[in-house]
Structure 1
Amino acid sequence: MRSIELVLDPDSDAAVRAAWDALTAADLPSLGRSGTNSPHVTLAAGDELPVPEGFDAPVPTSLRLGGLLLFPAGPERSVLVRAVVVDPALAAFHDAVLRNAPGAVETSLPGAWSPHVTFARRVRDADLPAAVAALRSVPLPDSLAVGGVRHWDGETKTVTPVA
């Protein structure tokens, strides 16, 4: 699978990593347990998603965070994320990504896309209260600053900076 992602500036990246570390310190699932993860917001994903040559809309400078969400991850397990609010700048850039890098899966398309920052995958339902408490111990700012755009190729494990 390939994806096009917004990456965060150093301060926002560090804030998300602090949340990952809080989950790890509480002995809970966390994206921080892998040294290869990097905080990001996926704009589009697909098996044949090309590296775009550019975009016909500006990259958003910040991302406003919404509430804590759970996505299903199997029986009695959830993915723990923080929603990203789709404002006009993010919506325009998302549309530009889809125009300039065709081939996205349905969940990347407007009306189905749920932008978010992921904290942990496969959190047991019984551990959700502890996970929420751990995240409360290191609150994130109301918005995160964008540091750029990258293309990720999961098959070759290749990151290509785009903008």
Structure 2
Amino acid sequence: MRHTISALVQNKPGVLAAMAHVFERHDINIRSISCGETEREDVSRMIICVEAGDEKVGDVTREIESLGFVLGLEDLSDRDLMDRELVMIKVRITPASVSQILQIFEVFRANVIDMGNETISAELAAPQGKVAGLIRTLAPHGIQSLSRTGLIALSRGDG
């Protein structure tokens, strides 16, 4: 099962490595991990996405909660959440393909951020499924490079 774990942690050196090490010890592969400051510069939010059984993830989350630098932890997997991923993608262009690629960007609401003689680059912040759809649609045109942030998420509502 896919789990999206949100952890509030102290913003200090070594925290990211220590968190990743806990997952490694439990033999759980991290599919994506994003970390950045929150509204408080001394606190960061980590969003860790993994594919693992509920029991295994429960063991890991209990261990993580006991770490001194963890201020709060929540498994968002069963919650209504808002999630986004940012992708920057560079695609090969030819005079014949430019208009078709621009139409693809328009359909996905991706923003063009650079254009050269042989490539065009765009960015998209969207749910992971939409990001994956853009990548699949552009693949036949020749993706030269891409970079994805990994998922970021917050639970919906007032809580």
Instruction: Return the TM-score normalized by structure 1.
Output: 0.27
Q: Which has the larger radius of gyration?
A: 2
Instruction: Return the TM-score normalized by structure 2.
Output: 0.27
Structure with the bigger percentage of strand:
2
